[in-house]
Amino acid sequence: MSVLLAENSAITSPHTRDIRSTRLSNGLLVLTERMQHLRSVSMGVWLDTGSRDETLAVNGISHFLEHMVFKGTTTRSAQQFAREVDSIGGNLDAFTGKETICFNIKVLDENVPAALDLLTDLVLHPTFSPEDVAREQGVILEEIKMDEDNPDYLVHELFTQNFWPNDALGRPILGTAASVSSFDRQTVFDEYARRFTPPNMVFTAAGNLEHDAFVTQVEAAFSSLSAGSSHRMAHHTAPKAHPHITLKSKKSLEQVQFCLAVPALPVSSPSRYAAYLLNSILGGGMSSRLFQSIREDRGLAYSIYSELNPFRDAGSLAVYAGCAIANTTQVLELTLAEFARIKHEPVTEEELDRAKNQLKGNMVLGLESSGSRMSSLARQQLYFSRFFTVDEISDEVSAVTAEEIQQLAQQLFDPNQLALTLLGPLNGLKIDRSHLVC
């Protein structure tokens, strides 16, 4: 197998990123970012597919695959993996999202060859023994039960399932007890073969490494991965959000868990920086309007925040709070009042400057490790097919005006699009759409 594609030229400005790329002859894209001041290297195999690419019958299979590759390969047992990772002081991990699956390892730069061998063996040569499939079903069924006992998780899951009903984006990443119990070895093999193909994979690495030498190692490690007739998985059409009010009583809880949301922008929207700033001002930190109004001024909740959840073609902006049943109606009214205020009054320059500095600071601090750079490479490639410098993003953030934030708020905070989920000891609480006014 030979390298086919010329690399990007290395970026040498201190304000930009030293990123290079090479596409191997089997279609696998290798991206690196050199960070010479570090002693670590983080590398990851990313799949451009996740739980939203599952059918209803195999809901949870992406997460199941993530678990199963750790159960042993043709050359190593799970115990051998653990021992070898520990012997090089590494950190081997994986996660599954709605749109991605990632397998990653972080090690000292001197241990890159050993780490690469472990990571590629894990991804390319799993055995999926019937005994391991059965055993892992039991593990994940327990994980599902554990999450269902977590009210913070459960209220978000209830919200998501009702917000995007009858669409894979609304289904749980873990799957359900029924779907996970139905998996067998053939199902696992079929889904592995469908997803683990070069067009659906990106290999990223960041830290103290040299691109050409690293690509040579990756080329050898992935020589068994044939392009064959593999093709890129087709992404689904954007789901339509469903405004809803879901009240689920659970008397065993001490608090009412509260999730109020609206449809929001997809991840690559030109207005995404205005959305980040809107979220920051509304409920993105301790100085945010919701935190100050509901926790600091009135003491109605310990935890309250807003969050953006952007995907390829859809998104949500949600406010979460946990409060006593006696305070639930007031917390809802105060949250809606903040929606109305940000729609009808431009944010102050002081608020906007603070939010911009917070966003820029979080961005820079979030890129200080090799692991965060490795992840940033993958996400920017998968969603944008290009790489943004810190200066580019900072300039985009600085350019957002109060008027743009107000216009976006007017677009997003439509009372007809509001969705509300309440979970807890509701004691007959009644809320209908006439209460959702902003």
Q: What H or E segment, with its residue span, contains residue 118?
A: helix 112-124
The neighbour count for residue 160, using CB atoms within 10 Å, is 23
Query: What is the secondary structure of 274-322 as a DSSP string?
Result: HHHHHHHHHHSSTTSHHIIIIIIIT---SEEEEEEEE-SS-EEEEEEEE
Q: Regarding beta strands 201-207 and 303-310, do their DSSP bridges make them parallel or antiparallel, or are they unpaired?
A: unpaired
Please state, in angstroms and rounded to a whole number, the distance separating the CA atoms of residues 234 and 388.
26
Print burial letters for 46-74: b (CB count within 10 Å at least 16), e (below 16). bbbbbbbbbeeebbbbbbbbbbbbbbbbe
Please state, in angstroms and rounded to a whole number, the distance separating the CA atoms of residues 49 and 235.
8
Please state, in angstroms and rounded to a whole number, the distance separating the CA atoms of residues 218 and 113.
9
Helices 130-148 and 151-163: angle between axes, nearest 10 degrees: 100
Residue 135 phi, psi dihedral angles, 5° rounding: -65, -40
Q: Regarding beta strands 419-424 and 256-263, do their DSSP bridges make them parallel or antiparallel, or are they unpaired?
A: antiparallel
Please state, in angstroms and rounded to a whole number, the distance separating the CA atoms of residues 122 and 95.
14
Side-chain-side CA neighbours of residue 280 (13 Å): 21
Query: What is the secondary structure of 322-342 as a DSSP string?
Result: EE-GGGHHHHHHHHHHHHHHH
CB 116 within 8 A of CB 108: no
228: its two tokens: 């064959």
CB 103 within 8 A of CB 122: yes
Please state, in angstroms and rounded to a whole number, the distance separating the CA atoms of residues 313 and 365.
28
Q: Which of 248, 239, 274 is nearest to 156 (CA)?
A: 248
Q: Which amino acid is at 45?
A: V
For the annotated catalytic residues, the residue numbers are 66
